[in-house]
Amino acid sequence: MKGKKLLGVALAATMSMSLLGACSSSNGNEPTNTGSNNGKTPTSTAGTESSGVDTSKEAKLVYYLWGGEGVANKDILAEINKKLKADINATIEVKYIDWGDIATKYPLLFASGEKFDMSHASPGAQVSYYTLASQDALVDITDMLDKVAPKLKAAISEAAWKGTMVNGRIYGVPSMYSEYTPSGYAYRSDLLKKYGMEKIASIEDMEKYMDNVLANESYAPINGNAADAQNMFRMLVDTTGKWLNAPGISFSELNLVTESPESFKKVFHPAFTPEFEAWAVKMREWSDKGYWPKDILSSQVGANTNFQAANSAGYLTHAQDWIGKYGADKKAQPEADPYFYTFAEANGKIKRKIGVENSTVISTNSGNPERALMAIEKFMTDPSYYNLIQYGIEGRQYEIVDGVKKTPESFNQEKDGGGFAAWSLRTDEYNLPMDSENPVRKSLYEEWDKVAINDPYVGFSFDPSKVTTELAAISNVNMQLGMQLMLGKTSKDPKTAVEEYRADLKKAGIDKVIAEVEAQLANFDPIQ
């Protein structure tokens, strides 16, 4: 049973729950409403006779999504189900995994043997897409596509399909939405100008800005919570040489890296480098200065929430999240006009994000895999479905004015609020800017398009089955000491704490994990 195969992985993943980089950070999780229909009049694509699929019996599909249920979600889903019932004789029940429960409940979703049909998947999720595919948790849709969803197959590029392949087979439907999600620091441009600065383009600039905040404002430069430990680790990796994140340890904790894209088959843990030790010392200095609050490890409020409440000078996140929150940030603090310091930019490490990083998959426990694939095709190739799953009901949750998605004047958050975290279903064809989205997105992405690099690990499926015990132990070490190092909160001198961290990683089996990753990488060739 796949549940038994995945149970060890799930248990290892749950150990890292307190290190989860939160979905407002850089684990490929973006704002929920980010598409549009280019102003086209929605039209339903009725009929399934040509597919050759027997739809005479109604299929009741279960779709797991991350996030909570908005007050209007049931109303939106009712409209979706009217269309699905008419077109493919199916309905969908959406079940939710709240943001704070993803680290524990998402892995167990696949390990438990629960019967459901569809969910989000990603190589960077708590259990990797490639791991799920290689351990028989996902339906192989390779041969099904031509029969069941030919329009969907034709709409997605051959390169994108190739990125989803495991042993030459397709196990997920990749998104068709172009985006970049490098980590960085969103900060108040009004304060920047107040301090006589032009921009933040380096760690030194960031320190100068934060020193000015401490000297002139009543709040912290980064008034966040424990999730920022992982953000600090991302800053270390992204600003150090040509280092890139490598597979093996979940990206929701202090993970492995490679020295450069060219040496991707050789991996190591940053803890055993002089750069890591120097960073731990810097993090203690930042903590002692008061760049973040003393109670950051126990705080329940994130820096973005505090930013919007004028109680933080910035917040750590990824570019797409900053772009998507721009409208809400400006509405809350009209003078702030947040800018973004992208950690990886200076060292030429902006990575392209390809479709597999946000995929929709079908569980092997699905009772109706063909109907599930047909539903996915509707959401991604028919703008009338797309608008509903991405935006809601036109005139209630959204309206399109001059090609821009806006919130209607009649919108009442208490009765109309809602939406689905269905970013895996997005497509460039139907995407338009939102009035709440940062207008810099288009020009910024065009600039990054010219210099972006490919992630050498796309397509690599790490099988953790031989090191599940070690991974669980490493997660515990990260939770107990790694997180504290990244926030300067160890009880000992940082250099002494780093030595202890290294020793604990050795005891937990880090060398065995590294050897296993490198052994599996030996015969892997990256997707071109």
Do 334 and 196 share a domain, yes or no?
Answer: yes
Do 155 and 274 share a domain, yes or no?
Answer: no
- How many CB atoms are closer than 10 A to CB 263? 12
Q: How far is CA 352 from CA 196, 218, 436, 452, in A?
A: 34, 39, 24, 6
Do 140 and 204 share a domain, yes or no?
Answer: no
Residue range(s) defining the domain that contains residue 73:
59-174+359-425
Let me know if residue 17 belongs to a domain.
no
Could you report the per-residue pLDDT of 132-177, keeping only the tens digit for each?
A: 998 899 999 999 999 999 999 999 988 889 889 988 899 999 999 8
Do 338 and 206 share a domain, yes or no?
Answer: yes
Structure tokens at 113: 């043997």
What is the rounded distance in angstroms from the CA atom of residue 427 to the CA atom of residue 382?
11
Let me know if residue 21 belongs to a domain.
no
Let me know if residue 44 belongs to a domain.
no
Check which CATH number belongs to the domain holding 130 and give it: 3.40.190.10
Do 189 and 107 share a domain, yes or no?
Answer: no
What is the rounded distance in angstroms from the CA atom of residue 264 to the CA atom of residue 246?
8
Structurally, the chain folds into a number of domains equal to: 2
What is the rounded distance in angstroms from the CA atom of residue 272 to the CA atom of residue 502?
7
Let me know if residue 439 belongs to a domain.
no
Could you report the per-residue pLDDT of 69-95, keeping only the tens digit for each?
A: 999 999 999 999 999 999 999 999 999
pLDDT for the residue 528:
59
What is the rounded distance in angstroms from the CA atom of residue 175 to the CA atom of residue 64?
16
Q: How far is CA 420 from CA 32, 183, 216, in A?
A: 6, 24, 40
Let me know if residue 230 belongs to a domain.
yes
Let me know if residue 419 belongs to a domain.
yes
Residue by residue, pLDDT tens for the chain (528 residues) are 445 455 455 544 444 443 333 333 333 333 333 333 333 333 334 444 446 789 999 999 999 999 999 999 999 999 999 999 999 999 999 999 998 899 889 999 999 999 999 999 998 788 889 889 988 999 999 999 999 999 999 999 888 898 899 888 999 999 998 889 999 999 999 999 999 999 999 999 999 999 999 999 999 999 999 999 999 999 999 999 999 999 999 888 999 999 999 999 999 999 999 999 999 999 999 999 999 999 999 999 999 999 999 999 999 999 989 998 998 999 899 999 999 999 999 999 999 877 888 999 999 999 999 999 999 999 999 999 999 999 999 999 999 998 888 889 999 999 999 899 999 999 989 887 777 778 888 889 889 999 999 899 887 878 888 999 999 999 999 999 999 999 999 999 999 999 999 999 999 999 999 999 999 999 888 765
Do 214 and 329 share a domain, yes or no?
Answer: yes
DSSP summary character for residue 269: -
Do 337 and 464 share a domain, yes or no?
Answer: yes
DSSP summary character for residue 312: B
What is the rounded distance in angstroms from the CA atom of residue 188 to the CA atom of residue 190?
5
Do 215 and 292 share a domain, yes or no?
Answer: yes
Minimal CA–CA distance to 354: which of 123, 155, 145?
123
pLDDT for the residue 251:
87
